[in-house]
Amino acid sequence: MKKTLFYFILLLQIQYNFAQPHSKPIPANARPKLVVGIVVDQMRWDYLYRYYDRYCQGGFKRLLNEGISCENTFIPYTPTVTAAGHACIYTGSVPSIHSIVGNNFYDYRLGRSVYCSEDKSVKTVGAENDNGKMSPRNMLTTSICDELKLATNFRGKVIGISIKDRGAILPAGHSADAAYWYDGKTGNFISSTYYMNELPKWVQDFNAAKNVNKYYEKDWKTLYPISTYIQSDNDTNAYESKPFGDDQLGFPYDLKKFIEKKNYGAIRNTPYGNSLTLDMAKAALLNEQLGKDSITDFLAVSFSSTDYIGHAFGPNSIEIEDTYLRLDKELEAFFIFLDKNVGKEKYNVFLSADHGAAHIPAFLEKHQLPNGGIVSSKVEADLNEALKNEFGKDSLCIGIWNYQVYLNRERINTLNLEYKKVLKHSINFLQKNPGIEQALKYEDLQEAMLPAELKEQIIKGYYPARCGDIMVILKPGYIDDEYGGKGTTHGVWSPYDAHIPLLFYGYGINKGKVYNKCYMTDIAATLASLLHIQMPSGCIGNTIEKVIK
């Protein structure tokens, strides 16, 4: 009896052992084969749910339902613009440290205005123009891609791709193998001698195919019957821009005419700019053999057309809804492509945005919501006139960039004017503008009657040599309306500009949602933890613990 019981228990133990999964322990330094960073330029967080019912299962829903969504992710600084956003996502830092304070800014040390990724020491590769004279040298810190390079002794490949140069260059970092961006003059993806002396043959072949014309042949019709776009405003509105010409007032848009005119830049204002970007990303993955060995590679992709379309038509347009429905399908196909060519669960994806967007003031007015705008060029001209009337000298204000007023310090000094008096008079003048909530000098920020969090956002956006003398804070719902009432923009601290999506999916990632407040700076820190590498050199973010298994 005892022997029978012994064998019975032994048999049960054997069956139990065979039933258990016998997976090997995961090494402490295990990494995915590939990380794909996706930045959707100007994607508001609410777009994840505004169009959710119309998304397919394999695009945004795949990330939302099979990955993890950090629902309350915010940009921790102001101004909220493209270059600063891309730099922040990949460095985990803020403008006060990485120094990319805007797309354009005035540099007091150089005594001139500067474009964020300009580099006059390099040459264009892939076109006979100056559109490739770019590099990441203006960014002072490393990116997460640089840290991956360091961690793999520069064996892991890093490639950045975008329609916008800054969308490819800043994420890829200083030590990238390549960054490619689109040249609207030639219809080519180009680079600079910072990375290479000539384009690889696969890029030359890609450019020779002139895929832009293939997309122009399709024209731009709505993906579904236009009557079904119930989440959007009317098709045509007086407050929308006309990027395809004054004769094109709404759907369908004739794009074929751009083939004959060789207008390769117009693709930016269509969803096909995103398609072209993904075509290039797929070609890069295949030809550069990304994710094919045991050393982690990084592909940084930024979709720029969402920004161009958003600026032109606003966040309540049929154009922007159709763009996101199309992007959703593109993402579904891209993830299937990654499954096939890298392997499901062998790659990691994160998706976020560099900033959001404000509603068009005229749209808000139609619905009796607070709105308005200032025109910074007019404010600049009026301020210079007011300063001339007070001090008898002109050109005391250099300009207004990123909601900051730059005074001509050198001229003020040369004219023996008292800087403090010029500054005070400027502030008094600006505060009379009905669209400006407050105008203040940075030295007075701590004593200003502002919420502590807003003060912190302003401080984190301040890099002395590249920022102005006076910070201008607009009223909620107000924009810098340089477009003459057509279209919209972004750049302020308000949630419509600063609340962004953040989703992680794939290797080592949990499923679910995170509802506590997170920040854009946490993305690079979380990736560093996932990859078991050092955080970027200026990173101030924290790992979002619930993201990682």
Query: Would you state the pLDDT for residue 144?
Result: 98
> Is there a domain that residue 485 lies in?
no
In 3D space, the residue among 144, 134, 41 whose CA is nearest the CA of residue 98 turns out to be 144
Going by pLDDT thresholds of 50, 70 and 90, the confidence category of residue 96 is very high
| Partner residues linked to 162 by β-bridges | 181, 302
pLDDT tens by residue, 230-264: 999 999 999 999 999 999 999 999 999 999 999 99
pLDDT tens by residue, 401-454: 999 999 999 999 999 999 999 999 999 999 999 999 999 998 888 888 899 999
For residues 328 and 179, membership in a common domain is answered with yes
Segment holding 68, helix H or strand E: strand 68-70
- The parent domain of residue 297 ranges over 38-360+533-547
Query: Would you state the pLDDT for residue 23?
Result: 41
Strands (E), 292-417: 297-303, 347-352, 372-374, 397-401, 404-407
For residues 110 and 203, membership in a common domain is answered with yes
In angstroms, the CA 353 to CA 307 distance is 10
For residues 356 and 376, membership in a common domain is answered with no
Query: Would you state the pLDDT for residue 448?
Result: 86
For residues 355 and 419, membership in a common domain is answered with no
> Is there a domain that residue 20 lies in?
no
> Is there a domain that residue 197 lies in?
yes
> Is there a domain that residue 28 lies in?
no
The single residue of 73, 78, 80, 82 carrying the catalytic annotation is 82
For residues 356 and 445, membership in a common domain is answered with no
pLDDT tens by residue, 189-210: 999 999 999 999 999 999 999 9
Query: Would you state the pLDDT for residue 28?
Result: 60
Number of structural domains (the chain) is 2
For residues 207 and 113, membership in a common domain is answered with yes
pLDDT of 11 strictly over 90: no
For residues 334 and 395, membership in a common domain is answered with no
For residues 225 and 270, membership in a common domain is answered with yes
Average pLDDT over residues 349-362: 97
Average pLDDT over residues 114-132: 97
Is-catalytic flag, 82?
yes
For residues 322 and 197, membership in a common domain is answered with yes
For residues 126 and 225, membership in a common domain is answered with yes
> Is there a domain that residue 33 lies in?
no
List Cα–Cα distances, 190 to 133, 171, 204, 491, in angstroms.
10, 16, 9, 28
pLDDT tens by residue, 22-48: 444 456 668 999 999 999 999 999 999
Query: Would you state the pLDDT for residue 404?
Result: 96
pTM of the shown model: 0.94
CATH number of the CATH domain containing 178: 3.40.720.10
For residues 473 and 333, membership in a common domain is answered with no
> Is there a domain that residue 408 lies in?
yes
In angstroms, the CA 161 to CA 36 distance is 11
Tell me the pLDDT of the chain averaged across its residues: 94
> Is there a domain that residue 295 lies in?
yes
CATH number of the CATH domain containing 402: 3.30.1360.150
Query: Would you state the pLDDT for residue 157?
Result: 98
In angstroms, the CA 250 to CA 237 distance is 9
Q: Tokens 């609207």 — which residue? A: 184
> Is there a domain that residue 13 lies in?
no
For residues 330 and 402, membership in a common domain is answered with no
